[in-house]
Amino acid sequence: MGDVILTMKGIDKSFPGVHALDHVDFEVKRGEVHALMGENGAGKSTLMKVLTGIYTKDSGSITYEGKEVEFHNTREAQDAGIVIVHQELNMVGDLTVAQNIFIGREFKKGFMIDDKKMVEESKKLFDTLKIEIDPTAKMSDLTVGKQQMCEIAKAISHEAKVIIFDEPSAALTEKEIEDLFAIIRDLREQNLGIVYISHRMDEIKVITDRVTVMRDGTYVGTLITKDCTKEDIINMMVGRVIYEEPKTKSLVAPDAPVVLKVEHLNAGRMVQDVSFELRKGEILGFSGLMGAGRTETARALFGADPKTGGDIYINGEKVTINSPQDAVKHGIGYLSEDRKRFGIVVQKSIIENSTLACLDDYLSGPFINKKKEKEVTEKYIKELDTKTPGSDQLVVNLSGGNQQKVVIAKWLVKNCDILIFDEPTRGIDVGAKNEIYKLMNRLAAEGKSIIMISSEMTEILRMSDRIVVMCEGKKTGEIAIEEATQELIMDKATRDIK
């Protein structure tokens, strides 16, 4: 690691009802990958938004390359060489790769845009990053991993000296994560300062040099990665020890009734002849590699995607589910892996989101009973320990973990007996994860039945009573939790892959 390129000292930032940053310190050196960690709502994103000019700090100082600076927008930060690679990619699907990389600063030939020059420059960027992407390809035709690489190329094109990676691996496959790490190591060799925001502990140990931890808007401390343990980091993040022991036996009674039976479900290439049962009070884990067909199975079951065959039985009775409305009517709730797209309306309040699935229950004639709405919302805010100044708060202002709690509240308000949790802790910190786990266990103990889709092996082993494994659209195995190991699950998850 080289000298310090960026120092943030005593950064303070408040919003109405929230003290988001309380005199936070942070620094980045040239040629280092510096992890920024903390629970959802700890202030990580707010700190980076202050750095890049999205928010104006209330007090404190930012020193960059030896000079005190304050950026008023992201363009000023980019021009200075500080760039964010966002978790939610800011690409225009209908434009080419080259057009996306140079959008807003296109090369010109007279009054015309010089597409040829943009393609040439894009190729040079990809050569630098040692990746193969066609600059003339349409952005929407690329995988999420390739789109992520384009976002990195775009950052490099700004002659970046500091790059901030915000949850870069959240939607990537294992191979794409390896490619990403190779690029990050190469950027480190080029003496760039890199900020790496992630909730994945295993990644932090592999790719970072130092770790700075934040909690509740404050700076907790900075550790050298190779000298600390995963438990050290977690303890700093949450102020308590969290144990992630795998479940050793099923908590479901052997004679528990079957509440859901799926027979020979088909829905295109990704759902082929899938059959399984779900018992009362059971957490049924669905495991498999990305693209195994787990989410597609859940969406076909919920009526979000059309199925081409198969039968569904609820409490022994055959039912027809052709739409989400049908599924909800039969007591099925679905927490999508993409909560912002399918789970919540971010520009609406917690109250409006909580009663979204059962608004009819809160009507008094043609009007919504606001008092009744508020009462039930505040009940679940308290029950789920949702961190918010009040029930009228817009969901967009909540952290990822608290947004997830709002989605869960929506289905609890509806009182669904069967809940599908699709990647329930994606993008959520270790403390909020633990709260979601406790909630799921409590719901199961109360008699709710849960299908949990997860790409995290530790999560599958910690939470499931039984595990269904899928590969390339087919069910390739079913494992009792007493017999489950990572090796056995992976064997079945790769069974059909040639």
Q: Are 157 and 97 within 8 A, CB to CB? A: no
Per DSSP, the residues of 346-367 read TTSBHHHHHTGGGGGGGEETTE
Whether 160 and 21 map to the same domain: the answer is yes
Q: Rounded to the nearest 5°, which phi and psi values hold at 13?
A: -150, 130
Does the residue 378 lie in any domain?
Answer: yes
Does the residue 444 lie in any domain?
Answer: yes
Tell me what pLDDT residue 497 has: 45
Domain boundary among 238, 269, 300: 238
Cα dihedral 428/432/437/442 (nearest 10): -140
Whether 133 and 185 map to the same domain: the answer is yes
Tell me what pLDDT residue 498 has: 37
Whether 208 and 309 map to the same domain: the answer is no
The domain tally of the chain equals 2
Q: Which are the contacts of 358, defined by CB distance < 8 A and separation ≥ 6? A: 413, 414
CATH number of the domain that residue 101 is part of: 3.40.50.300
Residue 265: other Cβ atoms inside 10 A: 22
Outline where DSSP puts E strands in 332-447.
Answer: 332-335, 363-364, 367-368, 418-422
Domain boundary among 203, 238, 273: 238
Structure tokens at 447: 């008699």
Angle in degrees, CA 133, 138, 142, rounded to 5: 55
pLDDT digits (tens, 9 = 90+) for 464-473: 999 999 988 9
Whole-number Å distance between alpha carbons of 435 and 432: 5
Whether 274 and 176 map to the same domain: the answer is no
Sheet containing 317-319, strands listed edge to edge, beginning at the edge strand earlier in sequence: 274-279, 258-266, 309-314, 317-319
Does the residue 252 lie in any domain?
Answer: no
Packing angle, helices 144-157 and 174-189, rounded to 10 = 10
First to last CA, the chain: 43
Query: In terms of Cα–Cα distance, which of 488, 470, 458 is closest to 276?
Result: 470
Domain that holds residue 118: 4-238
pLDDT digits (tens, 9 = 90+) for 447-461: 999 999 998 888 899
Tracing tokens 């908590």 back to the chain, one arrives at: 251
Q: Could you say which DSSP state residue 142 is in?
A: S
CA atoms within 13 Å, Cβ hemisphere of 20: 23
Whether 389 and 478 map to the same domain: the answer is yes
Amino acid at 396: V
pLDDT tens for the 498 residues of the chain, in order: 679 999 999 999 998 777 889 999 999 999 999 999 987 678 898 999 999 999 999 999 999 999 999 999 988 998 999 998 876 567 788 899 999 888 888 888 888 888 899 999 999 888 887 888 899 999 888 877 778 788 888 888 888 899 998 888 766 667 778 888 988 998 899 999 999 998 777 889 899 999 999 988 999 999 999 999 888 888 888 776 555 678 889 999 989 999 999 999 999 888 999 999 999 999 999 998 767 899 999 999 999 999 999 999 999 999 999 999 999 999 999 988 777 777 889 899 999 999 988 888 888 888 998 999 999 999 989 888 888 989 999 998 887 778 888 998 898 888 899 999 998 887 676 777 888 898 899 999 999 999 999 988 888 999 999 999 998 899 999 999 999 998 899 888 877 543
Does the residue 498 lie in any domain?
Answer: no
Whether 211 and 268 map to the same domain: the answer is no
Tell me what pLDDT residue 71 has: 94
The residues facing 194 across adjacent strands are 33, 163
Q: Are 13 and 58 within 8 A, CB to CB? A: yes
Whether 414 and 456 map to the same domain: the answer is yes
Whether 57 and 112 map to the same domain: the answer is yes
Whole-number Å distance between alpha carbons of 464 and 8: 43
Structure tokens at 183: 């690029």
Cα–Cα distances in Å, from 204 out to 10, 130, 447?
A: 25, 23, 38
Does the residue 246 lie in any domain?
Answer: no
SS3 state at 289: coil
Answer whether 0.95 is exceeded by the pTM: no
Whether 225 and 278 map to the same domain: the answer is no
Burial 195-220 (b: 16+ CB within 10 A, else e): bbbbbbbebbbebbbbbbbbbebbbb
Domain boundary among 207, 238, 269: 238
Does the residue 253 lie in any domain?
Answer: no
Radius of gyration (C-alpha) of the chain in whole angstroms: 24
Does the residue 247 lie in any domain?
Answer: no
Query: In terms of Cα–Cα distance, which of 466, 483, 471, 440 is closest to 284?
Result: 466
Does the residue 251 lie in any domain?
Answer: no
Tracing tokens 């007591």 back to the chain, one arrives at: 331
Q: Are 6 and 64 within 8 A, CB to CB? A: yes
Whole-number Å distance between alpha carbons of 12 and 24: 7
Tell me what pLDDT residue 486 has: 84
Whether 227 and 349 map to the same domain: the answer is no
Q: Which are the contacts of 219, defined by CB distance < 8 A and separation ≥ 6? A: 23, 24, 25, 26, 212
Whether 391 and 472 map to the same domain: the answer is yes
Per DSSP, the residues of 159-187 read T-SEEEEESTTTT--HHHHHHHHHHHHHH
Structure tokens at 370: 């606001």
Packing angle, helices 115-129 and 144-157, rounded to 10 = 100
Whether 187 and 71 map to the same domain: the answer is yes
SS3 state at 80: helix
Q: Are 151 and 86 within 8 A, CB to CB? A: yes
Cα–Cα distances in Å, from 423 out to 45, 287, 457, 472?
A: 22, 11, 12, 18
